[in-house]
Amino acid sequence: MDIQQVLAQYRSRTELQLEQLFQEMASLEPRLPEAMRYGLLNGGKRLRPALVYLSHQLCSTDQPPHALTDRAAVAIECIHSYSLIHDDLPAMDDDDLRRGKPTCHIVFDEATAILAGDALQCLAFEQLSEIIDPTLALRQLKMMKVLARASGRQGMVAGQAFDLGHVGQPLTLEQLQAMHACKTGALITCAVELGALSAGEPEGERLDQLRRFGDLVGLAFQVQDDLLDIEGDTATLGKPQGSDQAQNKPTYPALLGMEGARSKLNQLHQEAVAILTGFGPDAEALIALTDYIVARDH
């Protein structure tokens, strides 16, 4: 399996839908959808949509992704993009560059960037509230709840708040892990869960295993991010290499050393793959994606 090809396929599928969001959007203030579009269609890897689609595939081997899977993929990318726009704001991480391009508040202005983020969060829930098939209404509500829980005060936003509240303070490994579990992990686990739920996966051991897989791959993603900040290349990363160190941010390498962080990554990778292996041959693509996430260079 060529995971790059699989990723490219789901990336196209996602981008096409994201583009469509802006076709029928007459707005009282055209700069608003322009800024939303800028933040959303910015060359992202679309890893979260890929997790949605591949998790759906794992739970529903013979069925292609349907409208609800598509909506989930779009919704999670709207949430992810809004969080990046807000995180980059001067009052937050104050970043001028994102994926090699000026951030939203640099291209537009702060107020527009705040509002574009607000509208993108709203758009995520709007996408998932569209009634596609009345018999799927309960499934859809459950998916909205999962998305809301992962995104808000007990998930992503809490992680960012904790991060900002501890700038310059040393963190224990436990605190670092808890922070990342919220800040990036919650939405990654959510992607896996949404894919499974869109396939009709019921509550039970399988869904719990997939959640556990999501947690592991989410942490692995972050450890790799920290390693890339030290070993990566600014041009490939699309952001200044070494920025975590420069800002004295707590990272896995800072707490565990480079070797310790690499060994942690390896351990998370193995545990994640072990869970998927239990699902048999249906998990092949999701395993390939996990390998890719751990080995990626940007």
Residues of this chain that interact with a copy of itself (CB under 8 A) are: 25, 27-29, 31-33, 36, 82, 86, 89, 91-92, 109-112, 114-115, 117-119, 121-123, 125-126, 129-131, 134, 137-138, 140-142, 144-145, 148-149, 151-154, 157-162, 164-165, 178-179, 182
The residue among 180 and 269 lying less far from a copy of itself, judged by its C-beta, is: 180
Pair of tokens at residue 279:
């699902």
Question: Sign of the C-alpha dihedral, residues 84, 86, 90, 91?
Answer: negative
The residue among 57 and 121 lying less far from a copy of itself, judged by its C-beta, is: 121
Q: How far is the CB of 78 from a copy of itself (least distance, A)?
A: 10
The residue among 123 and 227 lying less far from a copy of itself, judged by its C-beta, is: 123
Q: How far is the CB of 158 from a copy of itself (least distance, A)?
A: 5
Burial (CB < 10 A; 0-12, 13-18, 19+), residue 247, is: exposed
The residue among 67 and 141 lying less far from a copy of itself, judged by its C-beta, is: 141
The 3 state secondary structure assigned to 52-114 is: HHHHHHHHCCCCCCCHHHHHHHHHHHHHHHHHHHHHCCCCCCCCCEECCEECHHHHCCHHHHH
Rounded-to-integer distance, Cα 290 and Cα 58, Å = 14
Tallying the residues shown for the chain, one arrives at: 298
Q: How far is the CB of 280 from a copy of itself (least distance, A)?
A: 32
Cβ atoms of 56 and 69 closer than 8 Å: yes
Q: How far is the CB of 193 from a copy of itself (least distance, A)?
A: 14
Q: How far is the CB of 277 from a copy of itself (least distance, A)?
A: 32
**DSSP conformational letter for 202:** P
The residue among 112 and 184 lying less far from a copy of itself, judged by its C-beta, is: 112
The residue among 155 and 232 lying less far from a copy of itself, judged by its C-beta, is: 155
Q: How far is the CB of 25 from a copy of itself (least distance, A)?
A: 7
Q: Which spans in 199-251 are helix H?
A: 205-231, 234-237, 243-246
Place of tokens 């800024």: 35
Q: How far is the CB of 248 from a copy of itself (least distance, A)?
A: 18
The residue among 70 and 294 lying less far from a copy of itself, judged by its C-beta, is: 70
The residue among 152 and 238 lying less far from a copy of itself, judged by its C-beta, is: 152
Distances (CA, A) of 155 to 66, 160, 183, 235, 253: 27, 9, 7, 31, 24
Q: How far is the CB of 144 from a copy of itself (least distance, A)?
A: 4
Rounded-to-integer distance, Cα 25 and Cα 203, Å = 37
State the Rg of the chain over Cα.
Answer: 18
CA 278 vs. chain centroid, Å, equals 24
